[in-house]
Amino acid sequence: MLSGFDIGIDLGTANILVYSKNKGIVFNEPSVVAIDTVTKNVVAVGSEAKEMIGKTPEKIVALRPLKDGVIADFDVTTEMVKLVMRKASKKAGISLRKPNVVVCSPSGSTSVERRAIQDAIRNAGAKKITMIEEPVAAAIGAGLPVDEPVANVVVDIGGGNTEVAIISFGGVVAYHSIKIGGDRLDDDIVQYVRKEYNVLIGERTAENIKIEIGYALVDHAEAFMDVRGRDLVTGLPKTVTLSSYEIRDAMKEALLHILEAVRATLEDCPAEMSGDIVDRGVILTGGGSLLKGMEEWLSKEIFVPVQLAENPLESVVLGTGKTLKYVDKIVAATATK
């Protein structure tokens, strides 16, 4: 019945990825759209649009139409998906006219938020849409045996939200979803630099700081980075030197919220599955899981082995691509939820 799926889409807050049944991943770019506010036309999408953030004239606005894992601007999201599907089909050298689509939704999303995702993809030209829960897709993409009656624990730290789920026999047994992810860490860095140094930096600079000298709450050799921003007193450009210890402290609150969500999910785990978790551990996926020291810190806090998925950034979209193998069980599990 479901063998006709053409593409899988990971509609992420930070990145949008498209998986073609025959070609693998054919699109992987930021979920950013540049719009001409006068004509309302989309000027650019993906990497090209991200380059424009904070650097465009007044009439062109670069924005992210997805926030906290769900759609914040329906019309812009629809236009973005249309262009992405067009780009993906050109790259794959295939026709994606009226494709069948597998798309993910956060476990904590409401029926209204899920309907918005379906409608946006249908309006972008999809023929048939099947939704699976994001942690299930992440687990499949990470190579976990989700169709077996054993506990698979996934912590998916995305741009807008973090999903923690225990998956067994194709369905979610327990989960917690919080609206804290990589974007919140970037924002905390922006606020810290503003408060401590009276210097304003952009979100792209904050993301670079996080990647270069950002660490989870672990001991590490101190690293430094020179950062340029605008002095809020003089209005002139200014360079400040930041320490990795400062950045670690700036991100502390958000990281502790993520830890809290992991602990809460493990506490909700049925007693029979606890042994599986101790034996099998926890798998980290999503871009946020690439923060230095994340595995070590989480493992120390929850006393369970923690490891990074082989392709953390691509796990969800790879999961949508592999869904055919599990689709009957997964659809049944989602329908009864």
Asked if 47 and 120 sit in the same domain, the reply is yes
Query: Is 289 labelled a binding residue?
Result: yes
Asked if residues 206 and 194 have their Cβ atoms less than 8 Å apart, the reply is: no
- Within this chain, do residues 240 and 162 fall inside the same structural domain, yes or no? no
Q: How many residues does the chain have?
A: 337
Residues in contact with 330: Cβ distance below 8 Å, sequence separation at least 6, in sequence order: 132, 136, 146, 170, 171, 323
Considering the domain architecture, whether residues 76 and 207 belong to the same structural domain is answered as no
Of the candidates 252, 280, 303, which is a domain's last residue?
Answer: 252
41 assigned ligand-binding residue: no
Residue 293's domain comprises: 146-180+258-311
Residue 39 and residue 69 in one domain: yes
Q: Are residues 246 and 262 in the same domain?
A: no
Judge if 285 and 161 occupy the same domain: yes
The verdict on whether residue 302 carries a ligand-binding annotation is no
Q: Are residues 215 and 157 in the same domain?
A: no
Q: Would you say 13 is a known binding-site residue?
A: yes
Strand, coil or helix: 110: coil
User: Known binder of ligand: residue 290?
Assistant: yes
Token reading at 19? 């998986």
266 is in an annotated binding site: no
Looking at 203, 223, 252, which one is the last position of a domain? 252
Report pLDDT for 175.
92
207 is in an annotated binding site: yes
Q: Does 210 belong to an annotated binding site?
A: yes
**Same domain as 272, residue 236:** no
Q: Specify whether 154 is located in the same domain as 303.
A: yes
pLDDT, one tens digit for every residue, the chain (337 residues) = 344 457 889 999 999 999 987 788 999 999 999 999 888 888 899 999 988 887 888 889 988 999 887 888 898 899 898 888 888 888 766 665 678 888 988 887 889 989 999 999 999 888 888 888 899 999 999 999 988 899 999 999 999 999 999 999 878 999 999 999 999 999 999 999 999 999 999 989 999 999 999 999 999 999 999 999 999 999 999 999 999 999 999 999 999 999 999 999 999 998 888 899 999 999 999 999 999 999 999 999 999 999 999 999 999 999 988 875 555 555 544 444 4
Q: According to DSSP H, which parts of the chain are helical?
A: 47-50, 74-92, 111-123, 134-141, 182-197, 203-213, 244-250, 252-267, 271-280, 294-302, 315-322, 327-335
- Do 173 and 304 fall into the same domain? yes
In angstroms, rounded to a whole number, what is the distance separating the alpha carbons of residues 245 and 266? 29
Let me know whether 123 and 227 are in one domain: no
Side-chain half-sphere CA neighbours of 223 within 13 A: 14
> Does residue 83 share a domain with residue 120?
yes
CATH of the domain at 154: 3.30.420.40
Q: Is residue 246 within 8 Å of residue 229, measured between CB atoms?
A: no
Last residue of a domain, one of 236, 252, 268: 252
Residue 233 sits in a domain whose CATH number is 3.90.640.10
pLDDT of residue 98: 79
Q: Does residue 94 form part of some domain?
A: yes
Question: Does residue 209 have a known ligand-binding role?
Answer: yes
